[in-house]
Amino acid sequence: QVQLVQSGAEMKKPGASVKVSCQASGYTFNGYYIHWVRQAPGQGLEWMGRINPNSGGANYAQKFQGRITVTRDTSIRTVYMDLSSLRPDDTAIYYCARVEAVGSFDFWGRGTLVTVSS
């Protein structure tokens, strides 16, 4: 069955970076984009970026340009989301989700809580 397994919760200080992983299984890894979506406490869903696992090409929401990098390691079917220069308002649950081309987000990871606090 399709699974997206995310890394565990992180606690970071302002200015630091965080790297969250998302390991895929149960489907053809190269066949689906992996997207990152975050949700601040009590807030809605916010799209951050995506990667094409086949080519490694990524694009990002303008809001995060310069702070976010999404990469993948096809040998272990894992996608990484790196967010730098963390601020307290980056405190959120970060989800990975798969999408076939420009379809729907049909499977989601369970989320990774990132807390940014001094």
Partner 1 sequence: SYVVTQSPSMSLAPGQTAKISCGGNNIGSKTVNWYQQRPGQAPVLVVYDDADRPSGIPDRFSGSNSGNTATLTIGRVEAGDEADYYCQVWESGRDHPVIFGGGTKLTVL
Residues that bind partner 1 (CB under 8 A): 35, 37, 44-47, 50, 59-62, 95, 97, 102-106, 108-111
Least Å from the CB of residue 45 to partner 1:
4
Least Å from the CB of residue 15 to partner 1:
26
Residue 73 or 100: which CB sits closer to partner 1? 100
Least Å from the CB of residue 62 to partner 1:
5
Q: Where are the extended beta strands (E) located within the chain? A: 3-6, 10-12, 18-25, 33-39, 46-51, 58-60, 68-73, 78-83, 92-99, 105-108, 112-116
